Chains A and B, each alone.
Chain A
Amino acid sequence: MMRKITALGLVAGMLSVPALAQTKIEFKEFDLDNGLHVIMHQDNTTPIVVTSVLYHVGSKNEQPDRTGFAHFFEHLMFEGSENIERGEYMNIIQSHGGTLNAYTSNDITYYYESLPSNELELALYMESERMLHSKVDQTGVDTQREVVKEEKRQSYDNRPYGSILIETLKRAYSVHPYRWAPIGSLDDLNAASIDEFQQFYKDFYVPNNATLTIAGDIDYKQTEEWVKKYFSEIPKGKEEIYRPDVTEPKKTAEIRDIVYDNIQIPAVIQAYNLPPKADEDSYAMSMLSTYLTGGNSSLMTKELVDKQQKALAVAAIPLELEDGGVFLMYGIANMGVEPKDLETEIDKLIKQVQDEGISDTDFEKLQNIMENNIVSGNSSMAGVAENLAEAHVMFGGTDYVNEVMEAYSKVTKADIQRVAKEYMTLDGRVVLYYLPKPAEPAQ
């Protein structure tokens, strides 16, 4: 049985008021000679095991004329390997009672599978196969190019407001590779040769750029043995991993534009540049976003959706990225409301937070909501595995997983007002109006 609060947690809890209790997540970690970092978390309550590999490669590691590679590999890595037949990866996992998935961000690519715990060796074998010798060939590239084309059509081109991220990033960054979204450009994918895909695989899908996490009903010793058995022979990458060393200059003027999309109702988008993900101010910004649009009793939802009925929906989403992301806000206008009108009201509320800050009651509510979110984020093995991997790669150490609550408890009421002033500046933001594209003639 896990102890609920460790001595350290107790001390931290006593120092920060009010005390925020976080259940400690125990783990063991080690490195292989080839640089693979391995994190294990044992929890025998349910006979399942989640195995995940986080590759520290996202769209920011791509070249400007070869965008979409990292996301493309998210697909390609399911094509199979020397020992796994084409298209069988998913079938094998599913027919052993498992599920699997993957996602790609601007910073990382994350693959995971959840299986009955007696299939752990299979999971490790499968992940090691695609790290050692994934099938990166013309057939696979051609097949997945079609799939990605459909995905882009479904999720970006045909989905109302689907291009928000693409259009925002394009304007929020002028030099940093964050200026393109993970989906990238189909033209780039079409233009790329098979050699380029193979090179990308050799550059980034190497053990020294990967974090393997195993969480669930495991035996530490046995797990370590199997990890060594399947992963030790994978050679370390030869070159240093390319990570862009670019500082996005601070914007000095507002960027304003109109995007015509297949939509019925106009929307207003605002984006503000954020500090790097691991910066202390990220916690205050995340609480600010909850204050603005999280839940029915949040400031903007109450004011703009319920009371004034100027918006059908509003949302503030901090897209936290390693080198500094964007704070994305959108409001969908109610019938007959001009985008300009809605924007004015949004700005008024931002100004209100900047000038007056937030009340004690609201601050306490935010702390309660954050606490609930952090606790719930560790309620599944999949969540724990992801949090462990992210702590190691993004926050400088796996221990961070047990320090999140403490980091949030350090945020003061004044901090929330301060970050609202510091980051939500009018002369450094991007504003987009999404307007309906004239379409078929209506009656």
Chain B
Amino acid sequence: MKKITISFVLSLLVSVVSFAQVDRSEFPKAGPAPIIKIGEAETFTLDNGLKVFVVENDKLPRVSFTLVLERDPLFEGDKAGLTGYVGQMMMAGTTTRTKDQIDQEVDFIGANLGVSSTSISASSLKKHQGKILDLMSDVLYNPVFPEEELEKLKKQSLTALATSKDEPNAISSRLSSAMVYGKDHPYGEVTTEASLGNVSVEDVKSYYNTFFKPNIAYLAIVGDMSKSEAEAVVKKYFSDWKPGDVPKFSYDAPAPTTKTTVGLVDRSSSVQTVIDIAQPIDLTLGDEDYISSIVLNQIFGGGSSSRLFMNLREDKGYTYGAYSAFAEDKLIGQFSANASVRTEVTDSAVVEFIYEINRLVEDGVTQEELDKAKSNLAGSFGRSLESPGTIANFALNIERYDLPKDYYETYLQKMNALTVADINQTADDLIDPSKLYITAVGNASEIQEKLAQFGEVKLYDNMGYPAKEMAAVDADVTVETVLENYISAIGGNSAVSSIKTAKMVMDADVMGQKLTIEQIFDNPNMRYAQNTLVGGNVMQSSRIKDGKGVVSVQGQSIDMTDEQIDAAKLDTYFLPELYYGTMGYTLTLDGIKDVEGTPAYKIIVATPLGSSVNNYYSVESGLKIKNENPISGDTFYKDYQEKSGVMIPMAQTIKSAMIPVPLEAKVTSLELNPELTEEDFN
């Protein structure tokens, strides 16, 4: 060992002697800034108005074609969601090819082809360019818009919409857009079940016939193709494309808020709050403020060394990440800052956001921050040039935003010339800290009051519409009266307490598979059995008896812990309200809430060991319409029918993090007071 060390040291000495000029304590200096050579795009225009950009890059034998339509934003109104179908409908078959044939032919040459309502993009190896252009132009000229494809797409989007109604980030984005732009603006409107239902094949066709016109289109060709070849190719495939009049649309700028306001969506099962702080801004690509807004954002919240991240994550540990954006847009841009934070620190996090926004506008940035942001951005600008697509984008932007021809050629010079004063001016121009929209999606009973310090708190529903005004709870309404009302609404004390045992079977459909839930209740003996079957096989089951609980999944069983039994007991009674008193639960009335449009009293049921569920009882009918369970999710009770003198919900909608889509379960069999045997609970 020692020997090795000595020779190690010796060899080190020797090499140090022969390379004595290396001073490792100093970092090497950067060489002169490289000259950014941005390949220039060749352009030409066809008689039908199609503008073509060619960026030749023959490093690799590949070529891509991107067609972009430049139209005004659309307000879709009662057909919101229409544009989302256009691309897939165009890919769904042509006069000579079925959808499967298109997929096969694209796969066969290892190529890509994609369509949206405002673009078509295709790419392939050079040698397959004829084939991919055949496919691309076939989809562009000859789509047949099959009815059954629209039905399939609608089904998929309804599922997606149902999921997004409970998805905190989706709710937050709808809320923020609704507040910043208003519901009558293209950027503020939302897609609903009704608006999707209104979309017909004729609508999609009419959109296609109106907007897929060469006179509003740009075609960018990038890759192994010269201008002269491009001219021949474009002539062959695109010169017969007929131009047409395309309507223009304009919109009033949304009225800005006069003072900071808070929008809140109550999602009582949330353990995190999604915070978004937003403001409309006047910012378009190419504006005087544009490049400095990018630098400003890099300093404020663009990355993991920016102020927001350093404060809210690194220093306070409120969140996994906090970021900001200055989005440019021809119609109207937006400044926003956001993070998902633990419920308890919601107000503290908003305080820090506002502190950082004020500090940015009042005190500005430092030279050190500016220098760091510049080299960071210059680096990523340089790296982005590796992709030939970037050059094509630059060429398109120059045309679309009417920029000087050397805009990107001199981009880094313009950025490097920015001073601290320039950045501070931009912060001052773009952000008004006194007129912010603060939005929060989270557990309102925990955060609503704490948010009031920032401005008037307005409640919204999960689609971004103002929440129904919920009346305050009358002074004479208590937990006891709500429960009494419920019992009498379902048949009265004697009828309800006469039900001792029950067997209930529910069926639901999950992505084409039949799902069955069997439940057996034995109230006097505190026994409970539950099986969940998929396609006839038992996937999961649980048993509670003799003060013990067992859960089995796929044949493997484990005993429940005391905490788990305590939580499970909340669900073991058929009509549990009669037993809340004897179980030693703590009940709290937490106001009137909006349950899918119905005002309902919310009652929090807490066990001695700290588990809890929320029940919602309709103010008008007294019936229980919703249960929130932190483990199994939200259950909505529907279709109350009289059985043996008691009103029983014969349909349930179950929303759980464990299932991808809301489960619509129907009671297919119900026995009240059946004879139960030991076997039922084995």
Contacts and interface: CB of A to CB of B under 8 A. Distances in A.
Interface of A: 2, 4, 21, 23, 43, 45-48, 82-83, 91-92, 94-99, 114-122, 124-125, 129, 217, 229-230, 232-236, 238, 260, 264, 266, 295-297, 309, 334-338, 361, 364-365, 368-369, 371-373, 375-376, 378-381, 435-443
A337 B31 contact: no
Nearest to B305: A94
B386 A46 contact: yes
Nearest to A125: B28
Nearest to A22: B61
Contacts of B12: 233, 235
B383 A335 contact: no
B534 A335 contact: yes
B513 A233 contact: no
Q: Ordered nearest first, which 4 A-B pairs have the shortest CB separation? A: A97-B379, A336-B535, A47-B34, A372-B110
Given A119-B30, A238-B4, A440-B564, A99 B375 contact: no
Contact of B59 (A2, A91, A125, A232): A2
A361 B109 CA distance: 11
A94 B539 CA distance: 50
B503 to A, nearest CB: 16
Contacts of A122: 27-28, 30
B16 A47 contact: no
B376 A233 contact: no
Contact of A45 (B31, B59, B556, B568): B59
Given A122-B28, A440-B564, A442-B532, A48 B558 contact: no
B554 A435 contact: yes
Contacts of B260: none
A365 B19 contact: no
A428 B638 CA distance: 55
B11 interface: yes
Interface stretch (B100-108, B145-153, B584-592): B100-108
Of the candidates A2, A372, A375, the one having the most CB atoms from chain B within 10 angstroms of its own CB is A372
B381 to A, nearest CB: 9
B125 interface: yes
B30 A96 contact: yes
19 contacts: A23-B59, A47-B34, A48-B386, A99-B380, A114-B383, A121-B28, A229-B21, A235-B12, A335-B511, A336-B513, A372-B109, A376-B62, A379-B62, A381-B386, A438-B540, A439-B553, A441-B567, A441-B631, A443-B631
Given A45-B57, A336-B535, 12 more contacts: A45-B59, A46-B383, A97-B379, A364-B108, A372-B124, A379-B60, A380-B386, A438-B551, A440-B551, A441-B560, A441-B568, A442-B532
Contacts of B549: 441
B34 A116 contact: yes
A85 B69 CA distance: 52
A118 B125 contact: no
B125 A372 contact: yes
Of the candidates B59, B62, B549, the one having the most CB atoms from chain A within 10 angstroms of its own CB is B59
Nearest to B540: A442
A121 B107 CA distance: 44
Interface in B287-307: 305
Nearest to B108: A365
A371 B635 CA distance: 53
Nearest to B15: A233
Given A235-B8, A238-B4, A336-B537, A438 B24 contact: no
Nearest to A433: B554
B534 A95 contact: no
Given A98-B379, A438-B556, A229 B8 contact: no
A4 B30 CA distance: 33
A437 B29 CA distance: 56
B629 interface: yes
A438 B632 contact: no
B60 A23 contact: yes
A232 B511 contact: no
Nearest to B111: A372
Contacts of A373: 110
B379 A116 contact: yes
B671 interface: no
Contact of B27 (A125, A217, A232): A125
B571 A443 contact: yes
A236 B12 CA distance: 10
B300 to A, nearest CB: 17
Contacts, number: 209
Contacts of A437: 553, 556
Contacts of B378: 97, 116
A298 B61 CA distance: 25
A82 B510 contact: no
Contacts of B629: 443
Interface in B82-113: 103-104, 107-111
Given A309-B512, A335-B534, A379-B60, A368 B108 contact: yes
A440 B557 CA distance: 12
Interface in B19-78: 19, 21-22, 24-25, 27-37, 57-62
B34 A441 contact: no
Contacts of B567: 441
Contacts of A378: 60
A18 B33 CA distance: 46
Given A4-B58, A371-B125, A233 B534 contact: no
Bin the interface of chain B by size.
Answer: 35 or more
B405 interface: no
B659 to A, nearest CB: 9
Contacts of A2: 59
A91 B372 CA distance: 10
B117 interface: no
B61 A23 contact: yes
A122 B385 CA distance: 21
A216 B631 CA distance: 54
B62 A115 contact: no
Nearest to B554: A435
Contacts of B4: 238
Interface in B357-387: 372, 375-380, 382-383, 385-387
Contacts of B458: none
Interface string B524-535: 000000101011
Given A99-B383, A365-B108, A439 B571 contact: no
A438 B552 CA distance: 6
Nearest to B22: A229
A217 B34 contact: yes
A436 B542 contact: no
A443 B632 contact: yes
Contact of B33 (A118, A236, A295, A296): A118
Nearest to B568: A441
A94 B376 contact: yes
B534 A336 contact: yes
Contacts of A439: 551, 553
Contact of A238 (B8, B30, B128): B8
Contact of B382 (A116, A232, A266, A435): A116
A427 B72 CA distance: 64
A98 B108 CA distance: 38
Contacts of A436: 553-554
Contacts of B206: none
A96 B28 CA distance: 12
Contact of A47 (B35, B60, B103, B532): B35
Nearest to B627: A443
Contacts of B643: none
Nearest to A233: B15
Nearest to A367: B110
A142 B532 CA distance: 47
Contacts of B558: 438
Contacts of A99: 379-380, 383
B658 interface: yes
Given A21-B127, A334-B513, A440-B631, A260 B379 contact: no
Contact of A97 (B57, B108, B380, B387): B380
A380 B386 CA distance: 7
